[in-house]
Structure 1
Amino acid sequence: MSSFNPFSLDAKHILVTGASSGIGREVAIWLSRQGAVLTLVARDEERLAATAQALEGKGHQTAVIDFLGDEDVSRWMKELVRSSCPFDGLVHAAGVQMPMPIRATSLNHWEKIMSTNVSSGFSLIKAFRQKGVCQPDSSIVLISSVMARAGEPALLGYCASKGAVESMARAAALELAREGIRVNCVAPGVVQTEMVESLQNLIGEDSMQAIREKHPLGIGNPSDVAYAVNYLLSPAARWVTGTSLVVDGGYLA
């Protein structure tokens, strides 16, 4: 009887950005439990170290980078694989929400959201596809949001940025298919993270309750997203590219 497990990530080398908190942190911990060897990336060194302490298995490494800085991401990623081995997968979970009414949104505010949520993803995709950086049959997973397809007040920039992330993933999937790289998104609904807590502080409990009621299965947990990411990274998703897997408790329904 075959023991092949198409969902296994055993010994796969995965790069996870935004690994110091929220969805990125939970994704990293879950993937380590599935046997993956992780390179964790974030801006906050102390919180990143805390995530690393929570991982299972051996051989993990951490790297601190600010994607809004002057760092050459392509060169940085080549340096990462020199000290370890090529990547089998990339999960880009770093991002910001930064709620703000349209009347109060400055161009600088808008551009910071776009740079953090969209431009960083472009830089990582471009860096990941370099010769020697990724293995054949590798997978990129970008964390999108249901806000790519639905709107909420005070989230104009966030909605626009996540729509751009999904369009970027579709185009990249077509271009990189010949290189053996799959590109997909996971689009969560509202998940209980630090980002959601800051949103609640801004809009108040009544408005937050209204958002909760839009999720027939209730607010999600970061682990719900991690399981979907696991699937898209694994051989089980070998025929899946250029799409966005919605994990939203029924929000879009």
Structure 2
Amino acid sequence: MKEIIVTGACGGFGKAIVKRLLFEGYDVWAVARDIEQLDQCFAGIDCNGLHKYACNLSEESELITMVKTIVSQTGTISGLVHCAGLNRFIPLHLIKQKQMEEMFKIHVYAAITLCSLLSKKGNASAGCSVVLFSSVAAHEGSGGNAVYASAKAAVEGFVRSSAQDFVDRKIRINALVPGDVDSGMFHKFMARLTPEQIEERKKKYPLGFGSSENIADLVEFLISEKSSWITGQCYVIDGGHLVMRS
């Protein structure tokens, strides 16, 4: 059985990804900060392949313990989907180092630490696939978004370099670069906009806003053997948004 870790499992992306991978027959370790939240999120799913694990991804020691625990129970890890994240819109003149650290710990430090752990002998199976998350924010200017955009740009740089470190172990790593997708984080952002601003934003997405299922489709492809010849890539999935802006 292939064992896949999905962080941020209770978010819009994470929940859709967990469900899709379970449907495809994977054993999935759904990871979030709170076990009660996980119980509520997946209350309607009765599946032997679903394993729930509570972990504070900002703490290196908890990441190490999580990987050790999963490996001890499964043998090796076959895939990692790190889609946990947070975003806060902060004007440049109000940015504090604590806010930067909070953002980078989740998006960048946790991703690098998990990948480092997977690179250690005995933790990952040959053919293991890692999927990280960037954002179109790393490719376009947006006021108040400098810290988030910087963290996502760091993810893309890491993917390209770590692919070379991973290749001798037959581990692949790729990233998704989503645009506006109907999810919890998206709803919080949209709540800050006027109806007129929302309509203007819609016009910038020729194929409309995305869905979490669109994201899960691409993640499942990258986790599966169907993408066995792909590594070090960052896939834009944005309904034509960046193309239309160019």
Would the TM-score normalized by the shorter structure come out above 0.5? Answer: yes
Q: In the alignment, is the contact (CA less than 8 A) between 2:33 and 2:54 conserved in 1? A: yes
Range with greater deviation from structure 2 (87-96 or 107-116): 107-116
Structure 2's unaligned 5+ residue stretches are: none
Q: 1:179 aligns with which of 162, 169, 172?
A: 169
Change (3 A) 1:245 1:101: same
Change (3 A) 1:123 1:70: closer
- Displacement of 1:121 in angstroms is 0.6
> Secondary structure in 2 aligned to 1:53?
coil
> Secondary structure in 2 aligned to 1:186?
strand
- Between the two proteins, the alignment pairs up a number of residues equal to 243
The match for 1:147 is 137
Q: 2:183 aligns with which of 193, 198, 207?
A: 193
- Displacement of 1:56 in angstroms is 6.2
- Displacement of 1:204 in angstroms is 3.8
The answer to whether the aligner puts 1:216 opposite 2:206 as a matched pair is yes
- Displacement of 1:46 in angstroms is 2.0
Q: In the alignment, is the contact (CA less than 8 A) between 1:29 and 1:51 conserved in 2? A: no
The answer to whether the aligner puts 1:245 opposite 2:241 as a matched pair is no
The match for 1:83 is 73
The answer to whether the aligner puts 1:74 opposite 2:64 as a matched pair is yes
The match for 1:13 is 3
Q: In the alignment, is the contact (CA less than 8 A) between 2:17 and 2:219 conserved in 1? A: yes
Q: In the alignment, is the contact (CA less than 8 A) between 1:42 and 1:66 conserved in 2? A: yes
RMSD of Structure 2 on Structure 1 (CA): 1.6
Whole-angstrom distance in 2 between the partners of 1:56 and 1:248: 33
Range with greater deviation from structure 2 (45-54 or 145-154): 45-54
> Secondary structure in 1 aligned to 2:31?
strand
The answer to whether the aligner puts 1:62 opposite 2:52 as a matched pair is yes
- Displacement of 1:84 in angstroms is 2.6
Whole-angstrom distance in 1 between the partners of 2:196 and 2:95: 23
Q: 1:106 aligns with which of 96, 106, 109?
A: 96
Change (3 A) 1:56 1:150: farther
- String of CA shifts for 1:86-143, please: whole Å, max 9, x gaps: 1110000001111122122222212211111111111111112222221111100001
Range with greater deviation from structure 2 (195-204 or 36-45): 195-204
Whole-angstrom distance in 1 between the partners of 2:79 and 2:60: 24
- Displacement of 1:72 in angstroms is 4.5
- Displacement of 1:70 in angstroms is 5.3
Misfit runs of 4+, over 6 Å: none
What is the letter of the counterpart of residue 28 of structure 2? L
Q: In the alignment, is the contact (CA less than 8 A) between 1:33 and 1:56 conserved in 2? A: no
- String of CA shifts for 1:14-37, please: whole Å, max 9, x gaps: 100000121011111111111111
What is the letter of the counterpart of residue 162 of structure 1? K
Q: In the alignment, is the contact (CA less than 8 A) between 2:89 and 2:144 conserved in 1? A: yes
Structure 1's unaligned 5+ residue stretches are: 1-10
Q: In the alignment, is the contact (CA less than 8 A) between 2:60 and 2:110 conserved in 1? A: no
> Secondary structure in 2 aligned to 1:71?
helix
Calculate the TM-score normalised by the size of structure 2.
0.93
The answer to whether the aligner puts 1:39 opposite 2:13 as a matched pair is no
Percentage of pairs with the same residue: 29
Calculate the TM-score normalised by the size of structure 1.
0.90
Change (3 A) 1:204 1:112: farther
Q: 1:95 aligns with which of 85, 92, 113?
A: 85
- Displacement of 1:145 in angstroms is 1.1
> Secondary structure in 1 aligned to 2:241?
coil
Whole-angstrom distance in 1 between the partners of 2:201 and 2:34: 30
